[in-house]
Amino acid sequence: RSPQLDIWPLPQDFTSSMEQYPLNPHTFHFGYGKQSVAQRGCSVLDSAFKRYFSLLGGVKFMISHLVGVGEKNLQCPLKQINVSTKVKAVLNAETVWGAVRGEHVRLLLGYFVNKTEIVDFPRFQFRGILLDTSRHFLPVQTILKTLDAMAYNKFNVFHWHIVDDPSFPYQSCTFPNLSSKGAFHPMTHIYTQSDVRRVISYARLRGIRVLPEFDSPGHTSSWGKGTSNLLTPCYRSGIPSGTFGPVNPALPSTYQFMARLFQEVSSVFPDSFIHLGGDEVDFSCWRSNPDIRTFMQKMGFGVDFAKLQAFYMESIVNITSALKKTSIVWQDVFDYHKRVSKYMVEVWRAGCYLCEVRKVAKAGLRVILASPWYLDQPGPTHDWARYYTVWPLAFKGTDKQKKLVIGGEVCMWGEYVDATNLTPRLWPRASAAAERLWSDERRTSNVDQAFPRLQDFRCKLVRRGIQAEPLYIGHCKHEFQ
């Protein structure tokens, strides 16, 4: 069976000869070679060996030596890892993370190994999956299962859109009322600190970063349940209507609250990136409130609410920058005020999204593309090709501007998704984006050539316990083995 068929995303370079080596299931096992710098105790590779061992169905996989050239005192050398095996599949990884990625490839080669030389690395550094745990609560197990599937697809960022309008499941130590009043259920539909730590460590062992998003000033209804004076009271004909809008940007107490919340979030989530949201802010409530209007005058914003939104976001970005975090915001923030500021922009709106990418890159800001990969939107059943025929750099720009496109993200929003349908709705369609974000575009632009490979890979996902939906008519070989 041509091994090329097995591997998804396609490696950057792959040459296999007809020379075959039998793979003896009884001698195969994972281990650290004598002269290897990385030794038992390197948590990332130790756990990867365990995972791959069971994925191989117990077939042992000998690593005759793991030669890490990294600093002697590191248990996981951070560079130059050469993984070679008795079956002549040599894997040179720049980092531990590369070794984790690389071992997948060999697992896909099956029981007879053609002498193979694989050179591989990701085209884009940011390859994300967004899950929304506010519109529907997702049990930790469901999140971990998604992390497994992400690792099989070489996604490396879990964008955790953890809270939003309907519910606040994140259990804050600083502000426990946020979840006790704002979660769908204060005991069952929350993520405790240990749940969060579990997700972060599970992700790390698979080379996946956890990017938390606390979206504001919009999408914050649930925040108001447990925090008085945080949201803007909306007015109707001059008196409070009893409803609330976005976070109130006119009160100093708002920024004191946000500073304390992001102080906690920055320590709970170790990643250097943090997502601040900023999308879909409805100005009507701000416009109806006399105190907001007075504040606008005082600040010299006139009646331009985009300036108020910009002022608010700038303040929050300053809070997180002071916490040494790099902020990511939705494109609305950039669209409101094209000022070059210290944040990255996630492009999500439909339409000419490459026009937006070009604007952001021209402004010198890093950009993440999500628009073509909104998989929560109901689409035609055969739409995997829609997510494959995406060309993130097909805009007029200099090389320097194109380098600012650091990657893309598949968004699985939760309005119509919970633990019952997340996996088949996400996979294998997201695998189409995985290959677009990992592989060489020139070698992966033909849908007809990709189709059999993706069908095969989808069967592999199912074999590994990922309930990935079928792409079209057909079957998986393992159904009758």
Q: Which is nearer to ligand IFG, 199 or 412 (CB)?
A: 412
Q: Which is nearer to ligand IFG, 130 or 459 (CB)?
A: 130
3-state secondary structure of 442: helix
Residue with tokens 């979840």: 179
Contact 255, 318 (CB under 8 A): no
| Residue 286 binding ligand IFG, by CB under 6 A | no
From the CB of 136, what's the least distance to ligand IFG, in Å? 12
Q: How large is the greatest C-alpha to C-alpha distance in the chain, in angstroms?
A: 82
Contact 330, 346 (CB under 8 A): yes
Instruction: Given the residues 19, 71, 213, 280, select the one marked as catalytic.
Output: 280
Instruction: Classify residue 213 as exposed, middle or buried by CB count within 10 Å of its CB (0-12, 13-18, 19+).
Output: buried
| Residue 373 binding ligand IFG, by CB under 6 A | no
Q: Where are the beta strands (DSSP E) in 23-93?
A: 63-68, 81-85, 91-93
Task: Kindly give the pairing relationship between strand 157-161 and strand 81-85.
Answer: unpaired
Q: Which is nearer to ligand IFG, 19 or 415 (CB)?
A: 415
Please, which residues have CB within 8 angstroms of residue 391's CB and are 6 or more apart in sequence?
441
Q: Which is nearer to ligand IFG, 269 or 413 (CB)?
A: 413
| Residue 170 binding ligand IFG, by CB under 6 A | no
Q: Is 356 a catalytic residue?
A: no
Contact 270, 200 (CB under 8 A): yes
Among 6, 195, 264, 280, binds ligand IFG (CB under 6 A): 280
Window contacting ligand IFG (CB under 6 A); options: 5-13, 317-325, 374-382, 418-426: 374-382
User: In angstroms, how far is CA 305 from the centroid of its own chain?
Assistant: 31
From the CB of 371, what's the least distance to ligand IFG, in Å? 9
Sign of CA dihedral 171, 175, 176, 180: negative
Among 28, 175, 257, 330, binds ligand IFG (CB under 6 A): 330
Give the angle 82-88-93 at the CA atoms, nearest 5°. 20
From the CB of 334, what's the least distance to ligand IFG, in Å? 13
Q: Which is nearer to ligand IFG, 279 or 291 (CB)?
A: 279
From the CB of 365, what's the least distance to ligand IFG, in Å? 17
Please, which residues have CB within 8 angstroms of residue 347's CB and are 6 or more apart in sequence?
331, 353, 356, 357, 360, 367, 368, 369, 370, 371
From the CB of 121, what's the least distance to ligand IFG, in Å? 30
Sign of CA dihedral 97, 103, 104, 105: positive
| Residue 435 binding ligand IFG, by CB under 6 A | no
Instruction: Classify residue 364 as exposed, middle or buried by CB count within 10 Å of its CB (0-12, 13-18, 19+).
Output: exposed
User: In angstroms, how far is CA 47 from the centroid of its own chain?
Assistant: 21
| Residue 279 binding ligand IFG, by CB under 6 A | yes
Among 348, 353, 373, 438, binds ligand IFG (CB under 6 A): 348
From the CB of 306, what's the least distance to ligand IFG, in Å? 17
Contact 330, 348 (CB under 8 A): yes
From the CB of 374, what's the least distance to ligand IFG, in Å? 5
Q: Which is nearer to ligand IFG, 44 or 130 (CB)?
A: 130
| Residue 374 binding ligand IFG, by CB under 6 A | yes
| Residue 137 binding ligand IFG, by CB under 6 A | no
Give the total of residues touching ligand IFG (CB under 6 A). Answer: 9
Site string for ligand IFG, 400-419 (x = CB under 6 A): -------------x-x----
Q: Which is nearer to ligand IFG, 97 or 170 (CB)?
A: 170
Other beta carbons less than 10 A from residue 233's beta carbon: 19
3-state secondary structure of 14: strand
| Residue 376 binding ligand IFG, by CB under 6 A | yes
Q: Which is nearer to ligand IFG, 103 or 215 (CB)?
A: 215
From the CB of 430, what's the least distance to ligand IFG, in Å? 15
DSSP, res 2: -
Catalytically active residues, by annotation: 280
Q: Rule CB under 6 A: which residues touch ligand IFG?
A: 279-280, 330, 348, 374, 376-377, 413, 415
